Structure 1
């Protein structure tokens, strides 16, 4: 049994993607799964002839993972017994494909292969979603009020997980050609590993490649610890023009800890992920560590200057005098040493 999992922020993009996939796979079943307010789950099943099933269920705990585990997985297990082709699963908007794939792998009673994980989106909306400062609930993408992810966080997670990006352009929403071209360029930066497929629109690769992309990805490695005060001062400048900022930091106020950094649109956050695999021991010679301790930052944005990006980070490194002094530095980020 083969499964195709489709995730999306937008139910219209999801519907278009699932319809296109069904046309490409004769004999397939399409399962639309939706989570509404008050724990209401609606499941609709279609084949080539039309509707097959419609069912509503009220879950006591109406969370995203519960909806997948308690309703979707048993339904797929039952449908698989008579399926003549792949089952195309349209997940509820904002449900990560990784959550569904994990639940299916654990919960199905018969062998199944997820042959593709697809993110369906309209490229002209990509930038707006990334820069949206509201939560998924506040922006109306999920009924789960305590879901604090932003649309950008969801999309970046899906772009990292998916093997295919299916670009869609629902007829009901007027297209923005300039925004679509920018979105296609940005997709190539954010998901270079993913296959890009057209939905009902034609992706004019020659047109999208005719003009140079406004977006660039810069990667910088620093082998000395960063001064926490100076890094705090420049962090806003580093992130200002970045759609995405991610990597890990070696900060002098918590030198034994690997500090993850993630910036998506207007949000930037740091997290202490524990000790480095080999505890760093700065030397007087160059402040280098024998293990993997280092700062590695990747930034994707419009018109980024690699030289300026490097200069800003170099100015944050500890100097020879600061390394020799070995002073205990203040911790403006409240990074707690790993226990």
Structure 2
């Protein structure tokens, strides 16, 4: 029985501004190749339930105005983009699809939907995810060398930039860092403000996405250079894969030394955090830090893996399932084999696989200060004995993370925490 080739899809993303303009230029370059379809959804009027969708192929262009019953990004994705990918993939004339993403579309959300959302109602096609028909060839992110560092480390919200959809409380930094973190390749629009800033940006990118090839561009990028960039993407690159909270925190082989003040700080501990001290210590992850992520063990929540992820002044803390030690034998048997193997290497007779594992990318902070603050937030020896012998007493400790992290914080908490924390559902 013949195996049908899935149509490759290239996603191009960029933050509003110069990078968004580059998205259209790069899409046009790739779209000049015969058999390539360029798809762009313009979501500026999304709140009114109106989306403009443009298709370009072989020098021809068509635009259609879509009216959605519910004006939201998710509805656009499910009701139009995913079925469109399936229909285009079925055409013999289509050899590649390029998605020039509107800033409201996140590449990670699109890739996750392609893999998991069931597409129904297409005549002649069995219902199922779009991933049956298409595969992600690459995620390409454009960034402005002059503005991205400030965007990635600031506290401004999308709403303050007038970029937020309804109920979107994320910061500019969370989106700017997320776009780069999910990329297989980067186009950096230069030059930076000066040579030092460009070197610092290169050092950050080398640690944030070490496997991603980078094209430093002072002007339009021709198709031949763009195809060469895509060809340099390593075979093991993520290509749309969405990693869970138990995937390795250090991906690829990032430089572990300090360069131009930029360094990766690894923090690991075999004892839990005291929730109130952790809440106070979290301020250390905002000043001079690009991003932090990792798994946490809270003394008051012995069954739950708590996921932390920050970017600039934005923070998400949420649940990531249960520790293996808190599962039944049947549940453990169904867990990911790689996770079980890694847990077996560090299994503790008392606490099982519970631990703390964080990676912090600092660009203007003292790693010693970060480690000191996080060590201070861990339970002390007498508290650890309570965790082991009297968990019912520990459960009564005040826990700012009891319903994950609310925004704003309760009265009496630090102004910095109120300004910088935001509720999230984790990974």
1:196 is matched with: 214
1:321 aligns to what SS in structure 2?
A: helix
Deviations 1:70-91 (A, max 9, x none): 2223444444415353221112
Contact 1:94 1:154 in 2 (8 A): no
1:315 aligns to what SS in structure 2?
A: helix
> CA–CA distance in 1 between the matches of 2:155 and 2:366?
25
TM-score under structure 1 normalisation? 0.80
1:187 to 201, 205, 212: 205
Q: How does 1:119-268 map to 2 (within 5 A)?
A: 119-142=141-164, 144-168=165-189, 176-178=193-195, 179-199=197-217, 200=219, 212-268=259-315
2:63 is matched with: 54
1:335 is matched with: 402
1:9 is matched with: 15
TM-score under structure 2 normalisation? 0.65
Q: Which moved more, 1:113-122 or 1:57-66?
A: 113-122
1:21 aligns to what SS in structure 2?
A: helix
1:186 aligns to what SS in structure 2?
A: helix
Q: Does 1:300 align with 2:361?
A: yes
Q: Which moved more, 1:246-255 or 1:132-141?
A: 132-141
> CA–CA distance in 2 between the matches of 1:274 and 1:135?
28
Cα 1:60–1:238 change in 2 (3 A) is closer
1:283 is matched with: none
Contact 1:124 1:181 in 2 (8 A): no
Deviations 1:216-270 (A, max 9, x none): 1101101112223333332213433212121122222323332222221112342
2:55 is matched with: 45
The structure with more strand, counted as a fraction of residues: 1
Q: Which moved more, 1:300-309 or 1:34-43?
A: 300-309
Q: Does 1:83 align with 2:86?
A: no
Q: Does 1:310 align with 2:371?
A: yes
1:41 deviates by 0.9
Contact 1:272 1:335 in 2 (8 A): no
1:3 deviates by 1.7
**Structure 2 residues not aligned, in runs of 5+:** 1-6, 126-131, 226-254, 328-347, 405-427
Cα 1:230–1:137 change in 2 (3 A) is closer
2:286 aligns to what SS in structure 1?
A: helix
2:38 is matched with: 30
RMSD (Å), alpha carbons: 3.2
Aligned length: 318
